[in-house]
Amino acid sequence: MQASDYLRVKFQSDRQFAIHAENGFTNTIKAARGVASDIYSGIERASWYSSCLIPSYNNVCQELKAEEIRMVYSIMSIYRYRNVIAHMLYLYFQTLCKDVKEGNHDGSAQNMVRNAASLAASMAVAGGTRFVVAAAMAEAIAQSEFLSKSVAQKLAGKMPVGVYLLQVYGIQQKAAMAARGLKAIDPNYYWILYQAKLEMLYYFIEPVLADIIKKVKAGLYSSLDDLTDEIREKFSV
C-alpha cells in the first residue's frame, strides 16, 4: 500500500480506519499517541473559531474558513490524480531541476532515470531530461517504505466514529499549520501547490521535503547527482 492509497482510504468515508501493513510498522502505542495528538489539534482548531465572535479578529476567522475550503479542494485532489503524493513531489523537483546543475551523464541522477524509466514515462513529463529526473525522483520517493510508513503513522488509529471526526479535524489543523509553514520557507513551491489545490496535503510529504528544502535554500546541492545520492541513502530507493 502506497502513501496516496492511505489518504484515499482515510478520507473516503467516516468509517473507522485501521492499517494492516505487511511489515507491521503501525503499532498500538504509536497509533494511540498519534490519535491523542490529532484530537488535541482538533480541539485547538475548534477553539480558534471563537475569533469569529470578536470583530477585531475577523481576519483570523476568515483565514480559518478559507483553509476549510482549501482542505476540501485538497481532499478532492486525492482522487483527481493517479498518485497525488508523486505529483506533489514532482512539482517540487521540477522547479528544483531548473536551478540545479544536471550532473554527469553516468552519474546518480541519470542512473535513477534508467532504473525507473517506466515510472518516469508514466507521468506527464515535458521539458527534457531534467524533468524526467524530477519524475524519477518523485516516483521513487512516493513508492518508498519511508513515506508510506510516515503517512500511515499520521493517519492510523481505531476509535469511535464521533472521535474519528474530531481526529480528522485535528489532521486538518496540522495540515493548515504545515501549509502556513511552507508558505514562509518556500513561497514559490507553496503557490505552485496552491494553484493545483494541493497545498493542504503538504503535511503528508513534509517529512520528506522539509530537510531538502532547507538544504536547497542553503545551496548545499551542487548538482542533481548530490541530491540523488542523498535521496537514495535516506529513503532506501
* pLDDT tens sequence across 161-216: 556 667 777 888 899 999 999 999 999 999 999 999 999 999 999 999 999 999 99
Q: How far is CA 42 from CA 105, 111, 160, 166, 237, in A?
A: 49, 44, 15, 6, 35
Burial class (CB in 10 A: 0-12, 13-18, 19+), 19: buried
* Global confidence as pTM: 0.77
In one-letter notation, the amino acid at residue 104 is: N
Which run of H or E residues covers position 4? helix 3-11
pLDDT attached to residue 31: 47
Q: Which of these, 24, 27, 19, lies nearest to 3 by C-alpha position?
A: 19
**pLDDT of 100-139, one tens digit each?**
655 555 556 666 665 555 544 444 444 455 677 888 888 8
- Rounded Cα gap, residues 159 and 229, in angstroms: 41
Assess contact for 174 and 41: CB atoms under 8 A.
Answer: yes
